[in-house]
Structure 1
Amino acid sequence: MELLDLLLHPVRLRIVNAMFGGRIRTTTDLCRRLPDVPKTTVYRHVGLLADAGILEVADERRVHGAVERHYRLSRERARIDAEAAASMTLDDHRHGFAAAMAALLAEFNGYLDREGADPTADMVSYRQFPIWLDAQEQAEAVAALTPLLRGLAEKKPRPGRRQLLLSTILFPMGEVEEGE
């Protein structure tokens, strides 16, 4: 299976998101993290990601006569680089966006379904900001945001930190009108 097909799937995308930040998880941990996904489905997708080298076995332990694998994310393999993105068709982009939105919706529903969910106290945000930029300004905005976002993504779990899901979406909304 090609990298794009592997990563542009809602369940696999959620597994990759759950593994970010240096987390080491078992498939059982992932099943608890994705309670809306059948266990057999989680196991199947973990197997696909492991076979492709996106998840690596960090440790193996014997538990009740079975081998329990502890996985970590291969950050190098778990990303679509500029070359792969440039090779994507319009349908690939459509499929990828749909997978990202499905994963985002599932994660948000999972958050709301948790006991004690408090969007106000948790500073939940789902605002959209239509902005007007020319090509140079857009490039400058992306160049300014990229180091900030990479720095945030590099932070490791520790007491007092909780994992947040930050999604950025940037695309043209329509044609440029004359005189604007």
Structure 2
Amino acid sequence: MTQERPIADIVLHPVRMKIIQQLGGRSMTTTELREALPEVKQATLYRHVAALLDADVLAVVEERQVRGAVERTLALGERMAHVGQGEMQAMDAVQLRSAFAMFLSGLSNDFEELLDDDHTEMRGMLGFSRAPLYLDAEDLERLQSEFMQVLTPYLQPRRDGQHRISLATVLIPETDGRTPS
């Protein structure tokens, strides 16, 4: 498997982002992916799944025979579709803008689906907020580690009645030149 291409080059494609968003925190068969993404032609879906598999962004977690064909179950792979700090630093301004716009577009689409489907009962689980934090690089690393420890028990369904919720984080350092007092 090749990993030479920067992950941003691999995941910053609208169809690939949709696939990654569908698989975030769960596994799905290729049939389930086709059903979840009806706007994507089957050949196009399979081509992008193959590219994500080749880059270790996706992994095959199970294969089984179904009516003479092999059905694959997919999940996020080793690279986890995460653009790390090293790759962030290597991106130019155009690539960063594109990545951020793709991220925001995905959030916006999820929000619109919630409103379009008129799931008013789900709005109690909706939230968005913003909070300033004061961190150095060491603090940020510790915060991210602690955050994952807190989230880990909630990454898989544990009982009936639970709803899948997308939690997105954005870290944007302020550039106004002020230093904390």
TM range (shorter): 0.7 to 0.9
Deviations 1:128-159 (A, max 9, x none): 44x3x6xxx23276345313432215632322
User: How many pairs are equivalent?
Assistant: 172
State the partner residue of 1:126: 128
Matched, 1:103 2:100: no
Percent identity at matched positions?
32
Return the structure number with greater relative CO, CA threshold 8 A, min gap 6.
Answer: 1
What does 1:25-64 align with in structure 2 at a 5 Å threshold?
25-64=28-67
Three-state SS of the structure 2 residue aligned to 1:49 is helix
**RMSD of aligned C-alpha atoms?**
3.0
Post-superposition CA distance 1:37-77 (Å, at most 9, x none): 45444333222211222212222223233322111221435
Alpha-carbon spacing, 1:11–1:127, altered in 2? closer, same or farther (3 Å): farther
C-alpha contact 1:10 1:100 (8 A) present in aligned 2? no
Residue of structure 2 equivalent to 1:9: 13
Residue in structure 2 matched with residue 138 of structure 1 by the alignment: 135
What is the deviation of 1:175?
A: 2.9
Task: In structure 1, give the amino acid aligned to 2:13.
Answer: H
Give the aligned partner of residue 112 of structure 1. 115
Q: Of 82, 85, 89, which aligns to 2:88?
A: 85
Per-residue deviation, 1:111 = 2.9
Q: Which amino acid aligns with 1:124?
A: L
Query: Cα distance, 1:96 vs. partner?
Result: 0.6
TM-score normalised to structure 1 length: 0.75
Cα pair 2:61 2:74 within 8 Å, conserved: yes
Q: Secondary structure at the match of 1:69?
A: strand
Distance 1:49 1:43 in 2: 10
Q: 1:111 to 1:64 in 2, by over 3 A?
A: farther
For structure 1, the 5+ residue unaligned runs are: none
SS at match of 2:123: coil
Structure 2, unmatched stretches of 5+, are none
What amino acid is the match of 1:11?
V
Shift of 1:100: 0.6
Q: Secondary structure at the match of 2:112?
A: helix
Amino acid at match of 1:170: L
Q: Is the 8 A contact 2:6 2:87 kept in 1?
A: no
Which consecutive segments of 4 or more residues in structure 1 shift more than 6 A? none
Q: Does the residue aligned with 2:34 lie in a helix, a strand or coil?
A: helix
